[in-house]
Structure formats: structure tokens, C-alpha cells
Amino acid sequence: MTKSLCTPMADPQQVIDESRPMLEEFLGDVGIYHPGQPIADGHLRDRFSDWIHGQEIREEDFWYLVARVGAFICEYLIEGHAAIRYMEGKHILLHLPIDAARGVYRDFDPYAVAVSVVRKRHSLKEFLEALCG
């Protein structure tokens, strides 16, 4: 585990650089990902969402899981929905095309969403389905 990926004060560029390899290793460790499998796979999304929902999350594990859920949201939307990750100050944000032909985009903080998914036990699957239509 890399400390920078577990704390809210992490260096954003380091988080971006380590996101995909960390995520693939984590998902493999929990037994729902195989090397080479696309992150933007609906079955993987559903299995990860179910896995999150089934966890007892201790406070000391909160930021660890938030980092992984945030990374999943980023990689899922970049790989499967043409999102663009960018930094604004110390925040990692996503620019997601909603209707690119009309120039409609949504910008949001995937790590703020991850906090909600983990803390409030919101469904990752339902969020991503609603966002991506």
C-alpha cells in the first residue's frame, strides 16, 4: 500500500500516475479482476459495487477504500466513456462528455463521489449507470 493513496492530502499527480496499476492490483487481490480485463466492463463494475456494499469499513480503512473507489471511477469513465482527467489546484477532476455533439460536458470530483459511496453506502453501480445513461 502506498501511503499517498490512502490519505486525503496526497499529491494529485502521484495519485494519477499510480492510479491504474494500484487499482488493477487491488481488484486482483479481492478476486474480481484478471490482468488484461477492461476496467470499463459492466460486470466488473457490478462486482466491485457489490463487494464495496458487503464490506465492514473501519474508520482507519476509510481513505484506503475511498482512494480505490475514486481510482475506479476515473479509470472506468476514461476507458469506457471518453472522460478526461485533469487537475485544478490539488483536486483531481473529470471532464465527462454527456452530449459531445452539442458541447455538453459534466465536470466533477470523482474522489468526492467516492467519499459518498463509501461513507453513505451509495451504490457505485447505480451512480455510474445514472451518469453514463
What lies within 8 Å, CB to CB, of 52 at 6+ separation is 65, 69, 117, 118, 124
Q: Answer whether residue 12 shows pLDDT above 90.
A: no
The rounded mean pLDDT for the chain is 90
pLDDT confidence of 6, banded at 50, 70, 90?
very low
Q: Answer whether residue 5 shows pLDDT above 50.
A: no
pLDDT confidence of 9, banded at 50, 70, 90?
low
- Is the model more confident about 8 or about 74? 74
* pLDDT tens sequence across 34-92: 999 999 999 999 999 999 999 999 999 999 999 999 999 999 999 999 999 999 998 99
Residue ranges making up the domain that contains 64: 3-132
Q: Answer whether residue 1 shows pLDDT above 50.
A: no
Q: Answer whether residue 7 shows pLDDT above 50.
A: no
Q: Answer whether residue 15 shows pLDDT above 90.
A: no
Q: Answer whether residue 8 shows pLDDT above 60.
A: no
Domain count, the chain: 1
What's the first-to-final CA gap in the chain, in angstroms? 34
> DSSP readout, 85-133?
EEEETTEEEEEEEEEGGGTEEEEE-HHHHHHHHHHS---HHHHHHHHH-
The reported pTM is 0.89
Residue 67 contacts residue 27 (beta carbons within 8 Å): no
- Give the three-state DSSP class for 35: coil
Q: Between the CA of residue 15 and those of 61, 100, 108, 113, what are the distances in Å?
A: 17, 28, 17, 16
Question: Cα separation of 48 and 123, whole Å?
Answer: 10
Question: Cα separation of 93 and 85, whole Å?
Answer: 6
